[in-house]
Amino acid sequence: MVINKEYFNLTDILYSGQIFRFTPFKDGFLIFSGDKVCYAFEKENSLYIESETEEYFYNFFDLNTDYKEIVESAKKENIEVLTKALSKCSGVRILRQLKEEMFFSFIISQNNNIKRIQNSIEKLCFLLGDKKEFLGYTYYAFPSIERLAEQEVDFFKSIGLGYRAEYIKENAVKLLNGEIDLEFLGSLPTKELLSKLISLKGIGEKVANCIALFGFYKTDTFPVDTWIEKVYKENIKGSLTDRKKIADYYIKRFDKKAGYYQQYLFYYKRSIEKMG
């Protein structure tokens, strides 16, 4: 696949906090999703994607969505920090990732830094995932629910998941026996989906919003973490202190585009603003 780079910046997407499985490779990156992989690299004004499953990655990179319209709508909000974010990182987009992978990845993410999250997920894949090869590179698929569910809590603790080990175990068992049905959850309106996710062990407000946005593509969500809270307090000069209320404020204002704007603001605040 050859894609125009306007409104598509590969590096910004990969480092925007929504995906944890990728690695530099040759002139670009290998990007993993479930048991699939692609090689993506930029050259001049185009992005090239090589894969044995091109249709999958066409959807994965959200290539049917008009990001020009999203960016133009965001500019009309007339919010200074959002306008600045768009001037620097309008190539960020929401990936359409696997529900199961995002479900467990963001349970692992709580109170954790990105490097440790990546390392933990990589260990899970190496120890429990199927071995694969692509362009001479050996990688491991994200583990099946069955393999996750059959592990003991101590296994998850042994790879550094700490208190999250119990959450992984319990939810994997519930997924396996049908107590949790991710396809059904995905069919629910966003508020109901969030309510169901928060009722599960180890999933709070922020993690539920991340799973809903990055696993279910519910763009009327707005995960609030330290960086988004800083945007709200430092750039917007908001007075709310409760993160759920901050999220509700953004969702009420931005509606179905809230998730897109969240990524622009998050990436800008975390990675771009300090560079001036």
- In tens, the pLDDT along 186-195 reads 999 999 999 9
Q: Which two tokens stand for residue 205?
A: 């407000």
| pLDDT the model gives residue 131 | 98
Picking from 107, 3, 8, 108, the residue whose alpha carbon sits closest to that of residue 51 is: 3
Residue 276 has pLDDT above 60, yes or no: no
Q: pLDDT at position 110, please? A: 87
Question: pLDDT (tens digit, 9 = 90+) per residue, 198-233?
Answer: 999 999 999 999 999 999 999 999 999 999 999 999
Contacts of 175 (CB under 8 A, 6+ apart): 100, 103, 145, 149, 182
Tell me the mean pLDDT in the region 19-39. 97
- Residue 27 pLDDT > 90, yes or no? yes
Q: Which tokens hold the place of 97?
A: 């990732």
Centroid of chain to Cα 13: 10
Which residue, among 227, 209, 228, has the nearest Cα to 218 in the 3D structure?
Answer: 209
Q: Check whether 162 has a pLDDT greater than 90.
A: yes
Tell me the average pLDDT of the chain. 95
Site of tokens 């090239």: 48
169 contacts 124 by C-beta, under 8 angstroms: no
Instruction: Please compute the mean of the pLDDT values over residues 44-63 and round it to a whole number.
Output: 94
The pLDDT assigned to 112 comes to: 83
> Which letter, b or e, does each residue of 202-228 get, where b requires 16 or more Cβ atoms within 10 Å of its Cβ?
bbebbbbbbbbbbbbbbbbbbbbbebb
pLDDT of residue 69: 97
Gyration radius from the chain CA atoms: 18
Statement: residue 272 has pLDDT above 90: no
Task: Please determine, for residue 9, whether its predicted confidence score (pLDDT) is greater than 80.
Answer: yes
Q: How far apart are CA 9 and CA 236, in angstroms?
A: 26
**SS3 at position 61:** coil
